Chain A
Amino acid sequence: MLRYLYADELHKFPELARGMFRDRADQFKTRLGWDVKINEKGEERDQYDDLNPLYIIWEEADGSHGGSMRILPTTGPVMVNDIFGHLTGGKPIHSPLIWEVTRFCLSRTASAHTAGAIMLSGGEVMEGFGLTHIAGVFDARMIRIYRMIGSSPVVLGCEGSGRDQISVGLWPYSAEDCNRVSARAGIPRELSRLWFRTAFGNRAQHRFALSA
């Protein structure tokens, strides 16, 4: 299932959190050779993890980490502006209706549908919180993955070439994309919306209702 957890809620799921930070180390350092810091526990963390970001985590049936991504609003410090600002045409991306996704990560044992499931959560976040776009930084190999998942970004700028090419892109909210991603990932929208509502407590309690 998909879990939506702010950093200050991760302690409720210690195994899941450990798995996420270790799988990030495995993906970004070991497999992709990025210049990221690994701590003594074998976890990859950076300064953005200290800003109480929202993590969206695919939890496997056995409770382990299958994949995840990290979200921060572009009204605060974000990588697209701080580190890749030169790729967005000199104008920072700064809107309460645009959130940034980073550290899109899959465990080595992730199933074929995991990437799609995580992508679908991005659609739920956009829909549920009225966002217009998600912004993200991605490398060349992700372009094909996004296409397969069913939701490709609008690329704002790139640097480097071949496998090392890094791009900044925007995903506009599209109900059509959400439904396509949902179908390809094999997760009905009703289920995905239920996970979202479970996390953000949208079960009407009627405590406030005049009729109650």
Chain B
Amino acid sequence: MGTKFDLSQILEDLENTSTLEELAAVLVQLRDQLQIDHITYHWVDGAGDQYGFTTYPDAWDKQYRDKNYHRIDPVILGCFQRFHAVDWKQLNWSGKAVRSFLQDAQEHGVGNQGYSIPLRGPSGQFALFTVNNTCDDAGWQAFIDTHGRDLILVAHFLNRKALEFAKNRQPETTRGLSPREIDAMTLLALGYSRAQVAHSLSISEHTLRAYIESARSKLGAQNTTHAIATALSRGLIVV
């Protein structure tokens, strides 16, 4: 497996992409530099929509979808709700259905080794970045030791980029605010100072800060003013 992997070049190439196709081209390049079999980027958003890119054979991609393998795939189940990267060997591959899934995968050209990086985005987005190869355990361990950290950086950078494309692809899904967040944002929209809002809601300014921040993050806003404007325009608060 390769050593000619220039992290800053890959990040720069990713930065310069503006479509999923261009992104995919960079990943193919990365795969070739790393001299591994496959790279996959797979995302499931809050609404269950799937999006992504894989170098796995089309037949496997289709088989995976047709058979709804995401429901039993140990990689998906083992990474969902997690934030640490996982070597496939750490996952639970026991059980009849899982064993036949694994056999099916290998017959379709999926390598025996994998390393998957879970990614969490806003609005319940969950994505996985996976590198896959055919080799022995020692060789794979050495590969992960050498490239694991760089791959985590690539994965997060890639996900940020893909999220940018997705924003353009579909109208942003609106996300509700909690009652406390609505109270805080409403009072701020009315022109209250933070101290006044905290006092009115009988909470500390630190707690208020957390409510404002969570509202800001849910709304995808740059700052508090942007968050208030967004909440008003979406009708989430009324003043």
Find chain B residues with CB under 8 A from A76 CB.
83, 120
Q: Is the CB of A97 within 8 A of B149?
A: yes
Residues of chain B from 59 to 94 with CB closer than 8 A to chain A in the complex: 81-93
A205 CA to B74 CA, complexed, in Å: 14
Kindly specify which of B45-53, B129-137, B167-175, B224-232 makes contact with the partner chain.
B129-137
A200 CA to B152 CA, complexed, in Å: 18
Find chain B residues with CB under 8 A from A206 CB.
89, 137
A41 CA to B98 CA, complexed, in Å: 41
Find chain B residues with CB under 8 A from A201 CB.
90-92
A83 CA to B213 CA, complexed, in Å: 8
Find chain B residues with CB under 8 A from A77 CB.
213-214, 217
Residues of chain B from 167 to 210 with CB closer than 8 A to chain A in the complex: 204, 206-207, 209-210
Q: Is the CB of A202 within 8 A of B136?
A: no
Chain B residue with the shortest CB-CB distance to A73: B83
Chain A residue with the shortest CB-CB distance to B102: A207
Residue A82 at the B interface, CB < 8 A?
A: yes
Residue B220 at the A interface, CB < 8 A?
A: no
A side interface size, CB within 8 A: 33
Chain A residue with the shortest CB-CB distance to B178: A47
Residues of chain A from 61 to 112 with CB closer than 8 A to chain B in the complex: 72-73, 75-77, 82-83, 96-97, 99
Beyond A83-B209, A207-B93, whether A52 also contacts B214 by CB under 8 A is no
B122 vs chain A, min Cβ distance (A): 9
Residues of chain A from 158 to 212 with CB closer than 8 A to chain B in the complex: 200-202, 204-211
Chain A residue with the shortest CB-CB distance to B135: A210
Find chain B residues with CB under 8 A from A35 CB.
204, 206-207
Q: Is the CB of B210 within 8 A of A47?
A: yes
A54 CA to B210 CA, complexed, in Å: 20
Q: Is the CB of B93 within 8 A of A130?
A: no
A90 vs chain B, min Cβ distance (A): 12
A82 CA to B148 CA, complexed, in Å: 29
What number of residue pairs across chains A and B have CB atoms under 8 A from each other?
A: 81
Q: Is the CB of A209 within 8 A of B204?
A: no
A101 CA to B92 CA, complexed, in Å: 28
A6 CA to B118 CA, complexed, in Å: 14
Find chain A residues with CB under 8 A from B54 CB.
none
A128 CA to B144 CA, complexed, in Å: 11
Find chain B residues with CB under 8 A from A8 CB.
81
Residues of chain A from 1 to 34 with CB closer than 8 A to chain B in the complex: 6, 8
Residue B17 at the A interface, CB < 8 A?
A: no
Find chain B residues with CB under 8 A from A210 CB.
112, 134-136
Find chain A residues with CB under 8 A from B214 CB.
47, 77, 82
A6 CA to B78 CA, complexed, in Å: 12
Q: Is the CB of B207 within 8 A of A207?
A: no
A99 CA to B135 CA, complexed, in Å: 31
Residue B7 at the A interface, CB < 8 A?
A: no
Find chain A residues with CB under 8 A from B134 CB.
210
Residue B161 at the A interface, CB < 8 A?
A: no
Chain B residue with the shortest CB-CB distance to A200: B90
Q: Is the CB of A204 within 8 A of B89?
A: yes
B118 vs chain A, min Cβ distance (A): 10
Partner of A205, one of B93, B204, B210: B93
Residue B155 at the A interface, CB < 8 A?
A: yes
Chain A residue with the shortest CB-CB distance to B147: A130
Find chain B residues with CB under 8 A from A83 CB.
206, 209-210, 213
B212 vs chain A, min Cβ distance (A): 9
Find chain B residues with CB under 8 A from A129 CB.
84-85
Residues of chain A from 104 to 139 with CB closer than 8 A to chain B in the complex: 128-130, 132
Beyond A97-B153, A200-B84, whether A209 also contacts B210 by CB under 8 A is no
Could you write out 8 A-B pairs with CB less than 8 Å apart? A82-B209, A96-B152, A129-B85, A130-B148, A130-B152, A208-B93, A209-B137, A210-B112
What 10 additional pairs, Cβ within 8 angstroms, besides A47-B210, A82-B214, A205-B89? A35-B207, A54-B84, A96-B153, A97-B153, A130-B85, A130-B152, A202-B89, A204-B137, A206-B137, A207-B89
